[in-house]
Structure 1
Amino acid sequence: MKIISTGYSYTAAFADPEEWLKRISFHTGILEALAKKHEVISTEQISYSGELLQNGVHYHFIDPRNYHFYFPWKLHRYIKKQHPDIILVNGFVFPWQLIQLRHALGKKIKIAVINHAEKPSAGLRKLLQRVADRYVQWHFFTSREAGAEWVKNGIIARQDKIVEAMEASSFFKPMEKEEAVVHTQVTGSPVFLFVGRLDANKDPLTVLKAFASHVTQQPGARLYMIYHTEELLGDIQAYLEKDIDLSCAVKLVGRVAHPEMEYWYNSADFIISASHYEGSGVAVCEAMGCSCIPILTNIPSFRMMTAKGSCGFLYEPGDADGLSAILLQTVKLDKEEEKKKVLQQFRQTLSFKAIAAKMEETFGLPDIK
């Protein structure tokens, strides 16, 4: 079986193919899992043209400056020449190009679209997405609930075209906490971790409000905050200045290189997210792959990732009191037993192997062993 992964986004900042593949390893791991039994080709659009074989996947790099973006005939001719059985299209934000892809390939080749956190469109794009959906057999969403919104908006024709599977995963693995702490130098017990933008959607202030209450009950607890944008940093600093106990318990780490995050996830006992919306939740997925216990908002993607809270904890977005109550529950939690449940959920549902197996099941291909 031959599978081709493609898309229409162009990342001009990358000209080194190996660096680009490192950058998107959260996605290429799915292709590598599929490549264990099938021929897999991936077309990539950066400032480079050439070929690269890596971990069983054949990468074909096309510099889109060499062809017309709105009429990508060169890309489509290449795909057709490979005689694929299945096409994976990354994202549904370029429906005009997808329509052309179907006309270039004919009717027999099956097309699946992987949703990458995009929301239903409006205007002309919405109309084009409705047309493009006629040519798509499956839409992969992190949660069926997220896909249902597209059906409700009249873009995707039927709910049975929605398949629930993660869009990305992680190669990070559990390690001994003592080994990880050598790199991170974290202190305190237990250790909580916040990873994400400091913006209104990630809602770090709700986390701080809940943690302020918790440190009065568990003074040894520590919260480490890792972030790469600083929209609410001033508000956070002002909030910490008002509470000396909280300011001692919260550590503003800032930006951390991605490879180092494996040590941070393994240094922490819990990962906290206060997100109001997530297309999936890559940071949470990475943390769960390291057996870090998730404390997450009760939103569709997180319900799927935790099997509706069967591992970790869920609370309502913006509910600092609800989060505070959960933090109190963690005091008596058997953390080692919960970590086992988290790791089992990751391996069965969130891992590259699990995602690839779900795709194979959907496509009617033999299971990955």
Structure 2
Amino acid sequence: MRVALVNYGHPASVAGAEELLPAVRSLTGWAEALARAGAEVSVFQGFREDASFRRRGVDWHLVAGPYAPYLWPWRLPAGMHRRIAAARPEVVHVNSLLYALQVRDLRRRLGGAPVLVVQHHGEGPRPSRLGRILQRRLLAAADGFFFNGPDTAEPWRAAGVLGRRSVVAVAEGSSELEPLGRDEARRRSGVRGEPAILWLGNLDRNKDPLTVLDGLEPVLARRPAARLYLAYRRAALLAEVGRRVASSEVLRRAVTLLGRVPYAELAPLASSADLLVQGSHREGSGYAVLDALACGVVPVVTDIPPFRFLTGGGRAGVLWPPGDAAALTAAVEALLAEPLAPRRRAAREHFDAHLSYDALARQALAAYAELGAARRRPLAGEGGMG
């Protein structure tokens, strides 16, 4: 199966082609996993310069144009689309539902045979009724959509944008982290604690670290050996978090603010922890949860659509209502009342079976084949622009 992955935007800070692949880690993981699964994979990536090369079984085509940090939704990248059509793919997989006009143009250039899939990356439908009608008409050119679970797709369904097109539950990305043994991980990370609890995420209102601190304080008070480590990049609430920690003898003893942790150091840190705690009110993906599951860390996360999907409805973790500190306390206490080792093994097994890049590639290839068969049996009233 010949698969073309299409990614229009790229980080503006990336200066050369050699820096690009680490900056689009999720795209790289997808492409290489599809290649390992037997697909012939080409990536068409917007960039500041033209370049073509082959890496780990994947043909990369960087196409120069106004793609940093993203392509404006009303601009048509004619040069890239011509190159995609010339490659004669059997499947075209576009990242982001924001590119409805581009999806329609690709269908026009590709003709009727190839399967055209669009993957959701946290974006929402257009706010205006007219904008949603236009999205629906343009995205009717796609055969199906990949979402982080059916609940994540619901706002798009409710807005009437997806029509009767298929929605496939496939995670938008995965984790490359490999778990380390506990002793080696803790030697490298310096993490201690029984249990060791980890936070991975920005300190902001949405991720709600203050509720998490409120919920964990009773747990930490009852367990003098327990520790909480907060790793974060952006820190709008750092001052408030600092004041909250300083106000409590328990938190001063148990909490360590790590700040930014480079990705290369994340595997030792995550492998040192027993639990991941997240307080998000909304998310588009959930890469911190993926990194935790990859390292066998049990997620204790809010009951929101992406986290519900990534944890298998809570089977590979524990879910609690956003903003409810008492519910977080109860969730962690219930989890710590049983041995953690089996739960940690189950977390990693869930990741391997459902969320690793190789698992995503298997799911995607099966979906491509099913959507191709459905394309040969078109739905009445959903063809063309209608």
TM-score range, shorter chain: over 0.9
Identify the match of residue 252 of structure 1 among 241, 257, 261.
257
CA contact (8 A) 1:15 1:46 kept: no
Alpha-carbon distance in 1 for matches of 2:367, 2:77: 28
Question: What code does the residue aligned with 1:162 have?
Answer: V
Moved over 4 A (4+): none
Alpha-carbon distance in 2 for matches of 1:55, 1:213: 49
CA contact (8 A) 2:14 2:23 kept: no
Task: Indicate the SS of the match to 2:219.
Answer: helix
Displacement of 1:333? 2.1
Alpha-carbon distance in 1 for matches of 2:153, 2:214: 33
Question: What code does the residue aligned with 1:241 have?
Answer: A
Aligned to 2:18: 18
Alpha-carbon distance in 1 for matches of 2:66, 2:207: 36
Task: Indicate the SS of the match to 1:62.
Answer: strand
5+ residue gaps, structure 1? none
Identify the match of residue 141 of structure 1 among 147, 154, 162.
147
Q: For residues 36-88 of structure 1, what are the alpha-carbon distances to aligned partners after superposition, in whole Å with 9 as ceiling and x for unaligned?
A: 2111000112223201211111110112149x961211111100100000000
Aligned to 2:379: none
Displacement of 1:148? 2.2
Displacement of 1:15? 2.6
Alpha-carbon distance in 2 for matches of 1:129, 1:81: 26
Displacement of 1:10? 4.1
CA contact (8 A) 2:175 2:357 kept: yes
Alpha-carbon distance in 1 for matches of 2:66, 2:168: 34
Question: What code does the residue aligned with 1:183 have?
Answer: R
Task: Indicate the SS of the match to 1:364.
Answer: helix
Alpha-carbon distance in 1 for matches of 2:27, 2:198: 24
Aligned to 1:344: 349
Aligned to 1:263: 268
Task: Indicate the SS of the match to 1:119.
Answer: coil
Q: TM-score scaled to structure 1, two decimals? A: 0.95
Displacement of 1:125? 4.1
Q: For residues 322-362 of structure 1, what are the alpha-carbon distances to aligned partners after superposition, in whole Å with 9 as ceiling and x for unaligned?
A: 00012212332211111111111101111111111111111
* % identical aligned pairs: 32
Note closer, same or farther for the CA distance 1:306–1:80 as it changes in structure 2 (3 Å cut): same
Aligned to 1:88: 93
Q: For residues 102-160 of structure 1, what are the alpha-carbon distances to aligned partners after superposition, in whole Å with 9 as ceiling and x for unaligned?
A: 112112211000101112222354333111221111100011111122111011102x6
Displacement of 1:8? 2.5
Aligned to 1:299: 304
5+ residue gaps, structure 2? 371-386
CA contact (8 A) 2:10 2:24 kept: no
CA contact (8 A) 1:13 1:47 kept: no
Question: What code does the residue aligned with 2:151 have?
Answer: E
Q: Are positions 1:166 and 2:171 aligned together? A: yes
Q: For residues 19-47 of structure 1, what are the alpha-carbon distances to aligned partners after superposition, in whole Å with 9 as ceiling and x for unaligned?
A: 22112223321211111211100011222
Q: Are positions 1:234 and 2:235 aligned together? A: no
Question: What code does the residue aligned with 2:146 have?
Answer: F
Question: What code does the residue aligned with 2:43 have?
Answer: S
Aligned to 1:177: 182
Deviates more, 1:16-25 or 1:250-259: 16-25
Question: What code does the residue aligned with 1:17 have?
Answer: A
CA contact (8 A) 1:273 1:296 kept: yes
Q: For residues 202-241 of structure 1, what are the alpha-carbon distances to aligned partners after superposition, in whole Å with 9 as ceiling and x for unaligned?
A: 1111110011111121111110000101111111111112
Identify the match of residue 327 of structure 2 among 322, 325, 337.
322
Note closer, same or farther for the CA distance 1:249–1:272 as it changes in structure 2 (3 Å cut): same
Aligned to 1:58: 59
Q: TM-score scaled to structure 2, two decimals? A: 0.91
Task: Indicate the SS of the match to 2:146.
Answer: strand
Task: Indicate the SS of the match to 1:252.
Answer: strand
Task: Indicate the SS of the match to 2:53.
Answer: strand
Deviates more, 1:127-136 or 1:147-156: 127-136
Identify the match of residue 126 of structure 1 among 127, 132, 135.
132
Question: What code does the residue aligned with 1:176 have?
Answer: G
